């Protein structure tokens, strides 16, 4: 059972544009929602994370929007740059399972110069 | 400081052989996770170690997979009688304490021929 669904699978954006990636989850026990960025040949690196007590979190050009009632959260990358080209994974965890992460399928982002 | 390291970075093995993958977590991190990333798919949880507690093995796909963590530090993931479907990138992550970020290693790419 896929507990975290991510879309789109791939995304192409022009430099300076806004990249938007969406995720939906099923398990209402999830209480931590991170986004990871992965470059080829590297392990995932935490980009930004949110807990369900807030609806939005912004760090630089990266913003998470969280909708608890809809069980959805999204990543917005403002002023996208070619260096942002990578695979992005949303994830979720709950404190009762050792904080193990359940990942979405990933989105391959390409930012054209 | 040093991050999570994994060895080997690449491993090619013949079907039916046993393989061992090693993870060196960040010093002082009490929690250690193994995930598997298959081609074109998201990351799948395998096993979780927390201090001296019994590991959470609920993600291991079959009894051919096992892992141990010695002295609360280094971990080894062993796959016995490898099959072609075991081909994937095996990622290790460590975490300092509950609620903290998981830091990923670069992974071991396993190819079973």
Q: What would the pLDDT profile of B91-104 be if each residue is shown by its tens digit?
A: 999 998 776 789 99
Selected for mutation to probe chain B from A52, A53, A98 (highest B CB count within 10 Å) is: A98
Tell me the nearest-neighbour CA distance from A70 into chain B, angstroms.
23
Cβ within 8 Å, pair B31-A106 = no
Please report which helix (H) or strand (E) contains residue A86, including its range: strand A86-92
Facing B98 at nearest CB: one of A36, A45, A95: A95
Cβ within 8 Å, pair A89-B98 = no
Mean pLDDT of A50-55: 91
Chain B residues with CB-CB distance to A95 below 8 A: 98-99
Give the pLDDT of residue A1.
Answer: 52
% chain A with pLDDT above 70: 96
Cβ within 8 Å, pair A102-B59 = no
For residue range B12-63, what is the model confidence (pLDDT) as tens digits? 999 999 999 999 999 989 899 999 999 867 899 999 999 888 899 999 999 9
Q: Range with the lowest mean pLDDT among A90-99, B2-11, B38-47?
A: A90-99
The label of the residue with tokens 């998470």 reads A64
Which residues in A have their CB inside 8 Å of a CB on B? Answer: 6, 32, 34, 36, 41-46, 49, 89, 91, 95, 97-106
Give the pLDDT of residue B11.
Answer: 97
User: What string of DSSP letters covers A97-113?
Assistant: GTT--EE---EEEEEE-
CA separation, residue B90 to residues A41, B21, B35, B45 (Å)? 12, 8, 6, 10
> How far apart, in whole angstroms, are the C-alpha atoms of residue B81 and residue B65?
9
């Amino acid at each position: 059972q896929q507990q975290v669904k991510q879309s789109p699978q791939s995304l192409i954006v022009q430099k300076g544009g806004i990249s938007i990636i969406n995720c939906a989850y099923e398990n209402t026990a999830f209480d931590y929602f991170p986004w990871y960025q992965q470059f080829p040949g590297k392990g995932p690196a935490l980009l930004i994370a949110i807990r369900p007590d807030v609806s939005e979190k912004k760090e630089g050009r990266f913003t998470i929007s969280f909708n608890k009632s809809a069980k959805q959260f999204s990543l917005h990358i403002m002023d996208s740059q070619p260096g942002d080209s990578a695979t992005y994974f949303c994830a979720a965890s709950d404190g009762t399972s050792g904080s193990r992460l359940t990942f979405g399928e990933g989105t391959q982002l390409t930012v054209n110069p | 400081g040093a991050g999570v390291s994994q060895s080997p970075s690449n491993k090619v093995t013949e079907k039916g052989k046993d393989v061992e993958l090693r993870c060196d977590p960040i010093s002082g991190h009490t929690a250690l996770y193994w995930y598997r990333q298959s081609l074109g798919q998201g990351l799948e949880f395998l096993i979780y170690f927390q201090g001296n507690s019994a590991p959470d093995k609920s993600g291991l796909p079959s009894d051919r997979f096992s892992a141990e963590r010695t002295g609360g530090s280094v971990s080894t993931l062993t796959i016995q009688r490898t099959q072609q479907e075991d081909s994937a990138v095996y990622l290790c992550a460590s975490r300092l304490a509950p609620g903290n970020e998981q830091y990923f290693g670069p992974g071991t790419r396993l190819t079973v021929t």
